[in-house]
Structure 1
Amino acid sequence: MKTIDKITEVLGSDASLLEYKSEKISKDRLMIPGPHTVDSFADSDRSPQVLKSLAQLYNHGALGGTGYVNILPVDQGIEHSAAFSFYKNQDYFDPENIIKLAMEAGCNGVASTFGGLALHARKYAHKIPFIVKINHNELLTYPNKYDQIPFGSVREAWDMGATAIGATIYFGSEESTRQIQEIAAAFEEAHQLGMATILWCYTRNSQFKTDQEDYHAAADLTGQANHIGVTIKADIIKQKLPTTNFGYREIGFGKQDDAMYESLATDHPIDLCRLQVANCYMGKIGLINSGGGSKGESDVKKAVKTAVINKRAGGSGLIMGRKAFQRPFSDGVDILRSVQEVYLEKEITVA
């Protein structure tokens, strides 16, 4: 069976995503991912060492040289507790198996914690790009608080041979001002040392969830988080796939008007994701969407659907963890490869 036919079959009732044409923000305005992606930084202030790190990331694995990335992120042991994250597959209490999964699946890189990557750095840091997640929200404190705090230094990541650092900012939270300043400084240090930077741009505020809708994944709010992220010089933006829009309007804050919403997007998922891409300097900074949690049998379809939306919107790839590691090793490899097939399939183009 041809790959495009296989993808169409997996999508099922969502196969119409493959034919959609986006007309609000034209694809002609975007920088489309491709072999030129790293070269597009050549006019920036990124040093030759940073360009080298970006090349290592973009040129590694099954998607190497395409301009697209598929990254395995596993930091849920801190964010969601190790017991809850790994009980479905106890092998992943051992961080070496996280690295092995990323390598076997042909991922561009593996993103994880200081401790997990450091423990096996001499064995693997030269074999697959390491992305060290430098801050986390730990939930052992009671009552729970929601704040991203540093778990180590940028220099530590560089010393273990990391290709890039990753960090999260909770945009919209009470702590966001400090986090923006903290991560801006960390990204500058990472660039000085020659590492690339990836920002998890998450929104977090109790007022973003109303009685009618949860706007934490609204295209306008997540898009603005992306825009702040590229402003502090993230080289890649990680964002949740948008599920709605009109966050500013319905919550009643920020700068917005009806004409803004009318001109930039429809309610189609590709258009909503394109608004996120547009906020990443029209695709000059790559947008990778997250794969979300594991729901069982529907995971393959949801992962492929997310990849199709991201690619057709002009995004640069997928970063997927729980759908891959909360299942048997071989099944995790298969789902990661199913995502890669979307980005390798030339018949799936930018809408």
Structure 2
Amino acid sequence: MASITENLSAETAPLLAHECSTIPKEQLHAPGPDFMDRCFLPSSRPPQVLRSLGQLYNHGRLSGTGYLSILPVDQGIEHTAGASFGPNPLYFDPENIIKLAVEGGCNAVATTFGTFGTVARRYAHKIPFLVKINHNELLTYPNKYDQILFGSVEEAWNLGATAVGATVYFGSEESGRQLQEVAHAFERAHELGMATVLWCYTRNNAFKTQDKDFHVSADLTGQANHLGVTIGADIIKQKLPENNGGFSTLKFGKTHPAMYDKLATDHPIDLTRYQVANCYMGRIGLINSGGESLGAGDRDAAIRTAIINKRAGGQGLISGRKAFQRPFAEGVDLLHVIQDVYLDKAITLA
């Protein structure tokens, strides 16, 4: 395999030279082939959950590396099906979602009760299932920031799920109820032997000012991550941070000068390392979302996001739209390009 570091864009190449001067890499529980033994074996996870986590970490092209590449396709609910699958109607047929994850060499496929319910018996033995159990449906007008359960943990187990996933919209009016629902669901999932993945997203109109969108600030997303690992998430999904100072600018929460002076800079790798630190210094893996598809620049954007995540101490990407909103073969290639970042030993912790 040729090094992915060859022919990087002018924006991405400098990321390889960055040295993190905030949180030392030696303090992190870095991903690696022995990650399960180092970080989950001492935990309270039952043996059945360890087996499920082993299935996730030991499948696909990244098997045995400690890194994860997951294909998520729940946008048919979260963004409307037409908006999600309009660029490539192939994926109105849910079987093609699973096929893309299999051909793409992913560790797992994350999608809905409906998708798995149509093809579970055909693919349950071919790739780990991550069932997303709650969603924000878009037919309520005006739209509101709420995640509601679409099924039970038991139903996910019956579908053959290796893991369940859920979202909490931290900062929303309904976040207290969501937090309790998801904590209960994750407890039940662990009892049944399944792993848990939390989409730790922030949602509040007040988080967006004229100048900045603090939904992607390192301090707010970092705290969301910290709450997520506290309620029993085995893996945290978070958007890549783009700024900092949400708490201090919006004047809420509790802060300390070190949050901004010592623990982070404005460099994207340092901002992401603060997210990793809030995942118990990497004891719980951070996977960043791949973001929307913007067309021709998707490949470079995906490589850039993967390099930032890996060099910060993260465990991988959960990238959907960049893969499924293009022709099938191109989607497979993009997933492989992302995975190649994590397979490239020349890309190390900053």
TM-score, normalisation: structure 1: 0.98
* 1:11 aligned residue (9, 20, 32): 9
Q: C-alpha separation between the residues in 2 aligned to 1:134 and 1:297? A: 33
Cα shift at 1:23 = 1.1
- Residue type of the partner of 2:310? K
Q: Is the 8 A contact 1:24 1:265 kept in 2?
A: yes
SS at match of 1:282: helix
Runs of 4+ in structure 1 deviating by more than 4 angstroms, as ranges, are: none
Q: C-alpha separation between the residues in 2 aligned to 1:121 and 1:260? A: 45
Cα shift at 1:38 = 1.6
Q: C-alpha separation between the residues in 1 aligned to 2:320 and 2:188? A: 27
SS at match of 1:327: coil
Identity %: 66
Q: C-alpha separation between the residues in 2 aligned to 1:321 and 1:34? A: 24
CA deviations 1:134-192 (Å, max 9, x no partner) are 00000011221220000000000001110000000000111000000000000000000
Cα shift at 1:10 = 3.1
Q: What's the counterpart of residue 23 of structure 1?
A: 21
Q: What's the counterpart of residue 344 of structure 1?
A: 343
Q: C-alpha separation between the residues in 1 aligned to 2:320 and 2:110? A: 9
Cα shift at 1:347 = 0.7
Q: What's the counterpart of residue 258 of structure 1?
A: 257
Tell me whether 1:274 sits opposite 2:258 in the alignment. no
Q: Is the 8 A contact 1:82 1:93 kept in 2?
A: yes
- Residue type of the partner of 1:32? A
SS at match of 2:178: helix
Q: C-alpha separation between the residues in 2 aligned to 1:259 and 1:338? A: 36
Q: What's the counterpart of residue 240 of structure 2?
A: 241
CA deviations 1:115-148 (Å, max 9, x no partner) are 1012111110111000000000000112212200
Segments of structure 1 that go 5 or more residues without pairing to the other structure are none
- Residue type of the partner of 2:315? S
Q: What's the counterpart of residue 332 of structure 1?
A: 331
Q: Is the 8 A contact 1:3 1:341 kept in 2?
A: no
Q: What's the counterpart of residue 32 of structure 2?
A: 34
SS at match of 2:164: strand
Q: C-alpha separation between the residues in 2 aligned to 1:30 and 1:116? A: 37
Q: Is the 8 A contact 1:219 1:275 kept in 2?
A: yes
Q: What's the counterpart of residue 94 of structure 1?
A: 93
Q: C-alpha separation between the residues in 2 aligned to 1:188 and 1:176? A: 18
SS at match of 1:156: helix
Q: Evaluate the alpha carbon distance shift between residue 145 and residue 204 of structure 1 in structure 2; reply closer, same or farther with a 3 A threshold.
A: same
Q: C-alpha separation between the residues in 2 aligned to 1:22 and 1:197? A: 30
Q: C-alpha separation between the residues in 2 aligned to 1:73 and 1:135? A: 14
Q: Is the 8 A contact 1:249 1:257 kept in 2?
A: no
Cα shift at 1:346 = 0.5
- Residue type of the partner of 1:242? P
CA deviations 1:20-65 (Å, max 9, x no partner) are 1101100000001011122221111101100000000000000000
Q: Is the 8 A contact 1:7 1:304 kept in 2?
A: no
- Residue type of the partner of 2:32? G
CA deviations 1:219-275 (Å, max 9, x no partner) are 000000000000001000000000000000011111113333101011000000000
- The within-5 A match list for 1:286-301 is 286-301=285-300
Q: C-alpha separation between the residues in 2 aligned to 1:61 and 1:259? A: 40
SS at match of 1:13: coil
Q: C-alpha separation between the residues in 2 aligned to 1:92 and 1:197? A: 26
Q: What's the counterpart of residue 60 of structure 1?
A: 59
Q: C-alpha separation between the residues in 2 aligned to 1:32 and 1:59? A: 17
Cα shift at 1:212 = 1.7
Q: How many residues matched?
A: 349
Q: C-alpha separation between the residues in 2 aligned to 1:329 and 1:41? A: 36
Q: C-alpha separation between the residues in 1 aligned to 2:211 and 2:312? A: 27
- Residue type of the partner of 1:285? I
Q: C-alpha separation between the residues in 2 aligned to 1:68 and 1:259? A: 30
Q: C-alpha separation between the residues in 2 aligned to 1:259 and 1:117? A: 45
Q: Is the 8 A contact 1:130 1:162 kept in 2?
A: yes
- Residue type of the partner of 1:208? F
Q: C-alpha separation between the residues in 1 aligned to 2:116 and 2:285? A: 24
CA deviations 1:299-333 (Å, max 9, x no partner) are 00000000000000000000000000000000000
Cα shift at 1:3 = 2.8
Segments of structure 2 that go 5 or more residues without pairing to the other structure are none
- Residue type of the partner of 1:59? N
- Residue type of the partner of 1:273? T
- Residue type of the partner of 2:176? T
Q: C-alpha separation between the residues in 2 aligned to 1:93 and 1:256? A: 45
SS at match of 2:200: strand
Q: What's the counterpart of residue 200 of structure 2?
A: 201
SS at match of 1:158: helix
